[in-house]
Amino acid sequence: MISKNHGISSVILLLCCHFLQADEIVIIDQLPVDLVNPVSLALGDQAFALREMNEKRLQLWKLSDNGSPELTAELTEVVPGSGATVQMVGAYANNWWLAGLEWDYFATGKASLIHISQLKADNSRVNISFEAPAALSNSSISFTRWHYAPAQDRLFGLFGLPGAESVFLLSCMQALQLAAGNCNITALTSGDFLALDDGFVLWDRGHTNSGFSWYQFDQEAENGLREQHYQLEPSRISHWPGADRLQVQVSSVDNGQIHHSNYDLQLNGPARGALISRKLPGVYPSQRCHYLSSYRALCQSGSSMVFVNITNGSLTPALFDYMGEAADVPWGEIVAVQGDNTVVKLGTEQLTVYRLPLPQLSVVSFPSGFDLTYGDTAMLRLTDMLADIDLSNVDIRVIWDSPHQTLPTTILTELAYGVFQFDTSKAISRYSPTGQVLIDIHDSNWQSTVSLPLSIANINEAPTALSAVIDTEPLEIGERYELALNDVFTDPDGDGLTFSSTALPAGFVLQSPLITAAPQTPGAFSFTVTAIDPYGLTASLLVRGTVKEKSSGGTMQGYWLLGLLLLWRRFKG
């Protein structure tokens, strides 16, 4: 900018710079969408489909190399002239597959044909059709993903409406070279659907005693499917692509408290089909996830975003919630993710591409919990669990289960950077407490709390006596005395004690936890008192002394010492 002032020319350079913060969301692009009330379908492989709510116009989109969405095709029916609305879409390696139903509205009011179309990477097209099952209900409003399994070159997905008695599995083999006769449709019991690498799971959260079923593709089995049914009533099921197990969570309510039981269903190996209990939950919202790598995913749960970082060994996820300003995050459904942090969302009449900073840490491994015992030297090392993170962004808390909530929670002492030692002293372990170690992880604008079970089992110890033998000062006939045994014995576990004794002198009576004495006969005496804890461990004490005639002068002291340790309480007669 050049300005003149009183004949003097000067050049003023105005620099206006905005320095991006590491955790700042940046809008990269916004593209208009000319569909009426579109619904989205994320397909993986950086592809997605949009369809108008009125079930007609469909758009197929792919992400370019720079992450910007590009419209690949637009159509209104599966096969031109069929009138079949697109209800299922699949995508892989620049191939698209579409499926839908043609209806005989006037004669039977039912589906007459299933139409399938493949849009190939070379822009050629293959169309096939075959007769639809008579029981297939009008599900044209459904819009679902047709999953492609590369290892089997198979497409599979469900026709049908949620809540219907039956759904129909549409499966096509040799999908990259689609041909008539390679596709079939099978009726199944309705339920929630989760695709696996070589099969799927169906379960119905709306009905009790229905359990869940794991289906595997098997050409030798009836209908090409092998079913294995389990009686567990899952509340959530998830599966990480390529993993050798399925995570299952079962929830129950007891006295107003929600309890979760967690299981692994082994999908491969010698234990294939076994349902094995696990301590830590493995579930996450896998049905709406975009996988960024073999251990990272960005998922959507309702209107919230969840970043998942999973361990390779135990498949225990750390679930991160976005804690930044909600107004900074573009509204809508995540339809695709490219690279490490480029997100595409469908909002109101537009696609928004933005850069979303994601957590950069790595989860090394989480222990299944801390099962400790009194006196253990037990450590918690954060570097065994987490990598690529400043440990000052990690906080550790302990919470106890309800019976132990009065116990101190500061039972971890930091010995070195990121290394903590548990307090397993008797002061804590005597209650055999159970609880949780909560690890709060902060990474950019994301936060996760990992909960690890904690228990510290007590080792019962025997009661102790103040001394093995105590010699008392003389007691007098005609006086009354009382000995509190809880002053003589202690229990390191805080347990209540019971007491027994050998034959007591005349006038001595054990009324646990007291011994009362009204001496009657002069002379020496001795007896043994034994303290017993609830587990049968004991401690004993020998009490010795003499009884003498009542003194003629003065008033006796209120207490007599037993070896300077033990008090007899005296009552005047």
Give the DSSP letter string of 361-390: -EE----S-EEEETT---EEEGGGTEESS-
Q: 526-547 burial, b for 16+ CB within 10 Å, e for fewer?
A: ebebbbbbeeebebbbebebeb
**Distance separating alpha carbons of residues 336 and 500, to the nearest angstrom:** 77
Closest CA to 515 of 489, 483, 547, 544: 483
Same domain for 428 and 468, yes or no, is: no
Same domain for 483 and 529, yes or no, is: yes
Same domain for 374 and 448, yes or no, is: yes
Q: Is the residue at 480 inside a domain? A: yes
- With a CB cutoff of 8 Å and minimum separation 6, the contacts of 3 are 9, 10, 12
Predicted local distance difference test score (pLDDT) of residue 312: 67
pTM assigned to the model: 0.81
- With a CB cutoff of 8 Å and minimum separation 6, the contacts of 427 are none
Domain span at residue 444 reads 370-457
**Distance separating alpha carbons of residues 487 and 495, to the nearest angstrom:** 14
Same domain for 447 and 471, yes or no, is: no
- CATH number, domain with residue 398: 2.60.40.10
Predicted local distance difference test score (pLDDT) of residue 560: 41
| Whether the predicted pLDDT of 244 surpasses 70 | yes
Strand partners, 172: 155, 183
Predicted local distance difference test score (pLDDT) of residue 557: 37
**Distance separating alpha carbons of residues 274 and 272, to the nearest angstrom:** 6
Closest CA to 45 of 143, 121, 116: 121
Predicted local distance difference test score (pLDDT) of residue 341: 86
Q: Is the residue at 511 inside a domain? A: yes
Lowest average pLDDT, out of 67-81, 132-146, 259-273, goes to 132-146
pLDDT digits 0-9 by tens, 199-212 = 999 988 766 668 99
Predicted local distance difference test score (pLDDT) of residue 70: 94
For the chain, how big is the Rg over CA atoms in Å?
38
Predicted local distance difference test score (pLDDT) of residue 381: 96
User: Measured between alpha carbons, how far is residue 396 from residues 393, 440, 453, 540 in Å?
Assistant: 10, 6, 13, 44
The band of 44, judged by pLDDT with boundaries at 50, 70 and 90, is confident
Tell which wins on pLDDT, 107 or 455.
455
pLDDT digits 0-9 by tens, 319-371 = 999 998 888 889 999 999 988 889 999 998 899 999 999 999 999 999 999 99
| Whether the predicted pLDDT of 15 surpasses 60 | no
Same domain for 452 and 468, yes or no, is: no
pLDDT digits 0-9 by tens, 441-487 = 999 899 999 999 999 999 999 999 989 998 888 899 988 998 889 98
Same domain for 537 and 470, yes or no, is: yes
Predicted local distance difference test score (pLDDT) of residue 40: 93
Q: What is the mean pLDDT of residues 498-509?
A: 94
Q: 115-137 burial, b for 16+ CB within 10 Å, e for fewer?
A: bbbbbbeeeeeeebbeebeeebb
Owner of token pair 């002053």: 487
Q: Is the residue at 49 inside a domain? A: no
Q: Which two tokens stand for residue 77?
A: 């029916």
Q: Which two tokens stand for residue 57?
A: 């116009």
Q: Is the residue at 428 inside a domain? A: yes
**Distance separating alpha carbons of residues 433 and 338, to the nearest angstrom:** 47
Q: Is the residue at 320 inside a domain? A: no
Q: For residues 322, 327, 332 and 337, what is the CA-based torsion angle, rounded to 10 degrees?
A: -50
Q: CB neighbours (10 Å) of residue 153? A: 15
| Whether the predicted pLDDT of 6 surpasses 60 | no
Lowest average pLDDT, out of 15-24, 205-214, 238-247, goes to 15-24
pLDDT digits 0-9 by tens, 317-333 = 999 999 988 888 899 99
| Whether the predicted pLDDT of 5 surpasses 50 | no
Q: Is the residue at 374 inside a domain? A: yes
Predicted local distance difference test score (pLDDT) of residue 101: 87
Q: Is the residue at 494 inside a domain? A: yes
Q: What is the largest CA-CA distance in the chain?
A: 129
Same domain for 440 and 504, yes or no, is: no
The count of domains in the chain is: 2
Lowest average pLDDT, out of 44-48, 203-207, 438-442, 522-526, goes to 203-207
Q: Is the residue at 210 inside a domain? A: no
Say if residues 155 and 146 touch (Cβ distance below 8 Å): yes
| Whether the predicted pLDDT of 138 surpasses 70 | no
Same domain for 491 and 541, yes or no, is: yes
| Whether the predicted pLDDT of 140 surpasses 80 | no
Lowest average pLDDT, out of 143-152, 163-172, 491-500, goes to 163-172
Above pLDDT 90, what percent of the chain? 60
Same domain for 375 and 452, yes or no, is: yes
Same domain for 449 and 385, yes or no, is: yes
